[in-house]
């Protein structure tokens, strides 16, 4: 799945339509919560919004009454989550790319507006893909651990749909209808990331921009109405199948719940072992074996970590600063400075800390860092004569997040007159 995702990022692939058909066959047999009568879609959206609001209020009340976080047991868990969703977030909006070709037809303008907002209208401050990438960079999490194939499925679907909007128009409309309804897990994620000192601007932004009153959720509904107007029941049936594509692969709450701190730590160490097994002097010994011997033997990490604990290098369920091992890996003068990246250090930290209630993390207001950012917006470099097709091609996949793609986005908006509120 990862190779399909990466190939689609590069551009159209020969077998994509057949692959999409196959995914739709999987989706077709799933249940959905859409009304049988499409005229009831506005009520359905209202009910969805109301239900999410009620469940969110209940969540907040439980938290006020002392309930623990529902999603993230610790900060490592939250960073792990960001890695898991990164392939999807890296192509935010991609399923709508092909709508751009229809820019002369007003019935498509709602979906095109949604797509342009995902791209921040070509402003790097507001481009969703860039906002997520900056979040990972600030956290020192640009480097991803290996992910399960399922994590690439939604991203691959989005890229594939975006490349075949014409053939799969009803399915794209349905997919968009599902993706743009703000779910409960988005609200919980936003709350708990901020609580763990992680700037949740990216998530907060989606709470507002996808809102049902005037945001992407509403545009998704009105676009359906515009485009399904003269169509029969078969069209709506296909919309429903596209909607169900959202349910293929992991659902967020169970994906979040599958995290296991110790397993993640051992796996991270196993990967490090490959590089570290020849880096230590033979004077470094632990329980009678050299560190190189420990690291050279696959599957020995649980015993290695146990030995660290037995020999007093690690004191669990206490402030990690009290562990000798922590001072070896953390800080600019630490002997192993730079060996572990930010995510791996957080795994160590939270595993050592265990039941120890650390110092309260300062809640980070979403957007704190994004506001501090001063980016220079460049004037479009595309000559006025560039044809719209060239601009559209420069906005495909996640290329719209490059300097060239941002310029193309602004030039596209100028060339087509599809600016929002006359602000450009």
Q: Which is nearer to Fe ion, 113 or 128 (CB)?
A: 128
- And the tokens for 361? 């993390």
Q: Which is nearer to Fe ion, 17 or 123 (CB)?
A: 123
Rounded least distance, CB 188 to Fe ion, Å: 18
Q: Please give the DSSP secondary-structure letter assigned to residue 214.
A: T
Rounded least distance, CB 112 to Fe ion, Å: 13
Q: Which is nearer to Fe ion, 207 or 286 (CB)?
A: 207
d(CA 400, CA 121) in angstroms, rounded, equals: 10
Q: Which of 1, 80, 88, 87 has its CA nearest to residue 256?
A: 80
Read off φ and ψ for residue 145, nearest 5 degrees: -70, 165
d(CA 410, CA 405) in angstroms, rounded, equals: 9
Residue 100 vs residues 162, 392, 410: alpha-carbon distances, Å: 10, 7, 13
Q: Which is nearer to Fe ion, 115 or 382 (CB)?
A: 115
Q: What is the crossing angle of helices 169-179 and 216-228, to 10°?
A: 160
Residue 413 vs residues 94, 202, 323, 328: alpha-carbon distances, Å: 17, 24, 56, 53
- And the tokens for 213? 């009153």
Residue 259 vs residues 71, 204, 359: alpha-carbon distances, Å: 10, 23, 23
Which positions touch Fe ion (CB under 5 A)? Answer: 92, 118, 128, 210, 216
Q: Which of 181, 182, 200, 180 has its CA nearest to residue 190?
A: 200
d(CA 304, CA 294) in angstroms, rounded, equals: 7
Using an 8 Å Cβ cutoff, are 195 and 363 in contact? yes
Rounded least distance, CB 120 to Fe ion, Å: 9
3-state secondary structure of 285: strand
Q: Which of 419, 407, 418, 421 has its CA nearest to residue 123?
A: 407
CB atoms within 10 A of CB 402: 14
Q: Which is nearer to Fe ion, 211 or 404 (CB)?
A: 211
Rounded least distance, CB 203 to Fe ion, Å: 10
CB atoms within 10 A of CB 143: 11
Q: Which is nearer to Fe ion, 118 or 264 (CB)?
A: 118
Rounded least distance, CB 210 to Fe ion, Å: 4
Rounded least distance, CB 173 to Fe ion, Å: 14
The CA-based angle 19-21-25, given to 5 degrees, is 115
Rounded least distance, CB 95 to Fe ion, Å: 11
Q: Which is nearer to Fe ion, 180 or 330 (CB)?
A: 180
Rounded least distance, CB 400 to Fe ion, Å: 12
Rounded least distance, CB 364 to Fe ion, Å: 20
Q: Which is nearer to Fe ion, 192 or 210 (CB)?
A: 210
Q: Which is nearer to Fe ion, 52 or 269 (CB)?
A: 52
Q: Which is nearer to Fe ion, 201 or 216 (CB)?
A: 216
Rounded least distance, CB 206 to Fe ion, Å: 6
């Amino acid at each position: 799945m990862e190779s399909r995702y990466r190939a689609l990022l590069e551009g159209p692939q020969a077998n994509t339509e057949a692959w999409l058909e196959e995914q739709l066959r999987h989706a077709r047999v799933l249940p959905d919560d859409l009304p049988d009568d499409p005229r009831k879609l506005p009520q359905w959206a209202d009910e969805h919004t109301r239900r999410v609001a009620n469940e969110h209020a209940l969540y907040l009340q439980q938290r006020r009454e002392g309930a623990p976080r529902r999603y993230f047991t610790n900060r490592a868990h939250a960073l792990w989550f960001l890695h898991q969703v990164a392939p999807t977030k890296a192509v935010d909006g991609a399923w709508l790319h092909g709508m751009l070709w229809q820019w002369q037809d007003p019935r498509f303008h709602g979906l095109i507006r949604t797509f342009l907002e995902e791209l921040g209208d070509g402003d790097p401050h507001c481009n969703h893909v860039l906002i997520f990438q900056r979040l990972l960079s600030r956290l020192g999490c640009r480097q991803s651990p290996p992910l399960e194939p399922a994590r690439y499925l939604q991203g691959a679907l989005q890229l594939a749909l975006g490349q075949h909007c014409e053939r799969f128009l009803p399915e794209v409309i349905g997919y968009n209808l599902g993706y743009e309804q703000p779910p409960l897990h988005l609200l919980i994620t936003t709350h708990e990331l901020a609580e763990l000192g992680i700037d949740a601007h990216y998530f907060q932004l989606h709470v507002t921009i996808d809102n049902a009153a005037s945001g992407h959720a509403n545009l998704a509904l009105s676009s359906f109405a515009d485009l399904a107007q003269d169509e029969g029941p078969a069209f709506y049936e296909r919309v429903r199948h596209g909607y169900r594509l959202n349910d293929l692969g992991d659902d967020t709450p169970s994906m979040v719940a599958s995290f296991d701190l110790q397993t993640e730590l051992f796996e991270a160490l196993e990967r490090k072992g490959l590089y570290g097994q020849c880096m230590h002097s033979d004077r470094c010994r632990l329980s009678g074996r050299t560190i190189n011997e420990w690291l050279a033997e696959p599957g020995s990490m649980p015993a290695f970590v146990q030995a660290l604990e037995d020999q007093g290098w690690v004191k669990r369920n206490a402030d990690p600063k009290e562990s000798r091992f922590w001072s070896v890996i953390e800080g600019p003068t630490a002997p192993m400075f730079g060996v572990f990246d930010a995510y791996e250090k957080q795994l160590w930290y939270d595993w050592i800390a265990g039941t120890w209630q650390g110092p309260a993390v300062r809640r980070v207001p979403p957007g704190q860092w994004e506001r501090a950012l001063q980016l220079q917006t460049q004037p479009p470099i595309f000559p006025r004569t560039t044809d719209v097709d060239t601009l559209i091609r420069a906005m495909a996949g996640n290329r719209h997040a490059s300097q060239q793609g941002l310029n193309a986005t602004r030039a596209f908006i100028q060339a087509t007159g599809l600016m929002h509120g006359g602000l450009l």
